[in-house]
Amino acid sequence: MAYALIDNSTLTSVQRILGEISIRSNEVVDSDISAFENLIQAILFYDDLIAIDDYKETYREDRKRKFEFIRFINSKSFNLEKFEDKANQELKRFIPTIRGGNFEEENIKRLFDLLKINVICTWDLGDSVYHLTLKLLGNVDSSEFKKYGALSSAIFNELNDLYSCSNGKINSQVKL
């Protein structure tokens, strides 16, 4: 029997596509469509769809009703708290370092390289205060420009959602 593990981020994307959850930015639509496609493929090609039953308490039962074809598994059944604690420890240790306008962390650099996104950080003056700004380099007239703008927006929206759902467990420090 083949299983597909569906995460809550995918289910949230599907609910946005279906109009059940409001969209904060149109930039996430591309990633929502991709998540919707992945759920459709899971339905078509896997015998059993499962999800970890750890969604926000307020919406948990509603989500189970909306996705009744997914088997929600109690996170305590697999002692996932142990893994969550370990992941949280690793997240607290992780501090992105930007040196000379570039990420020093190899995994972050590799991610942007794999996505073929040219990223640079600059200090920009606004309202008499300098702000560190992440910029994507590209030609405005190219077809790639819109794609990478949507991709970076999707990445940062997911990171913002992750940070808000982590109850501050993610280290927000950055070394410059």
Question: Mean pLDDT, to the nearest integer, of 122-136?
Answer: 79
* 78, 111, 141 - which closes a domain: 78
CA distance 88 to 107: 18
Residues 63 and 100 in one domain: no
Q: Is 174 domain-assigned?
A: no
Question: Mean pLDDT, to the nearest integer, of 80-89?
Answer: 80
Provide the 3-class DSSP secondary structure of residue 5: strand
Q: How many domains does the chain have?
A: 2
* 78, 102, 128 - which closes a domain: 78
Q: Is 171 domain-assigned?
A: no
DSSP secondary structure letter of residue 140: T
The boundaries of the domain holding residue 153 are 88-165
Tally of residues, the chain: 176
Q: Is 13 domain-assigned?
A: yes
Residues 100 and 158 in one domain: yes
Q: Is 175 domain-assigned?
A: no
* 55, 78, 101 - which closes a domain: 78
pTM for the full predicted model: 0.59
Task: Write the pLDDT tens digit of every residue in 43-81.
Answer: 999 999 999 988 888 999 999 999 999 999 987 777 777
Q: Is 176 domain-assigned?
A: no
Residue with more model confidence, 61 or 157? 61
Residues 109 and 141 in one domain: yes
CA distance 48 to 54: 19
In the chain, the percentage of residues whose pLDDT exceeds 90 is 27
Residues 99 and 135 in one domain: yes
